[in-house]
Amino acid sequence: MGTAADGVEQLRTGLVEPAIAVGWQVAVTLTPNAGRWLRANGELERLEALTGLPVRDMPRLPTEPRPHPVVDCYVVAPASANYVAKLATGIADTQALTQVNEALGVLDVPVVIFPGINAAHARHPAWNRHIEVLQTAGVELVYGPVSRPLNEPREESKSRQIP
């Protein structure tokens, strides 16, 4: 899974190619915006050629066959703040959210999430609650300054005095 967050352009080289190199079969599902981004730069086609499967960014019609095999593990990288918030609150308004929301209710299907957020998102009052909900659901979060540096807001926007 990939979302429209900084780093999604490296999904193929940073995650898919290494997973295939160790023998995993990989199927890619993207949020609609991530699909648009990767389609625009040719990455979507490279991912399809590499995996041998279509990249999904929209739900299939009920009459269409399932394009991906049964999933043994979900990895969401990068996961935008929007994706994490929606997942933690049970919102499933995209194919990428629907699949992972359902996986949270399936026993023995690991879910690993790499949030790709900035410091402002991490300081939002709801962020820690979202993380706690996902951890309670058994989600493995790879999160923090070691895994992804948190970008600080520009200096002039840190604090403004209102007269």
- Band the pLDDT of 161: cuts 50, 70, 90: very low
What pLDDT does 144 receive? 60
**pTM for the full predicted model:** 0.85
Residues 9 and 21: their CA atoms lie apart, in Å, by 19
| Helix, strand, coil share (%) of the chain residues, nearest 5 | 40, 10, 50
What pLDDT does 143 receive? 72
Say yes or no to pLDDT of 147 above 60: no
The residue type of 12 is R
For residue 16, the 8-state DSSP code is I
- Band the pLDDT of 146: cuts 50, 70, 90: very low
∠ CA 154-125-92, nearest 5°, is 105
What pLDDT does 160 receive? 38
What pLDDT does 158 receive? 42
- Band the pLDDT of 61: cuts 50, 70, 90: very high
What pLDDT does 63 receive? 95
* Helix residue ranges per DSSP H, 69-154: 81-88, 95-103, 119-122, 127-136
Residue 47, token pair as written in the block = 């991912």
The residue type of 43 is E
Residues 131 and 26: their CA atoms lie apart, in Å, by 26
* Domain definitions of the chain by residue range: 8-57+70-145
Say yes or no to pLDDT of 66 above 80: yes
* pLDDT tens, residue by residue, 75-106: 999 999 999 999 999 999 999 999 999 999 88
> Top-level CATH class of 8-57+70-145?
alpha beta
What pLDDT does 39 receive? 96
Neighbours of 154 (CB within 10 A): 7
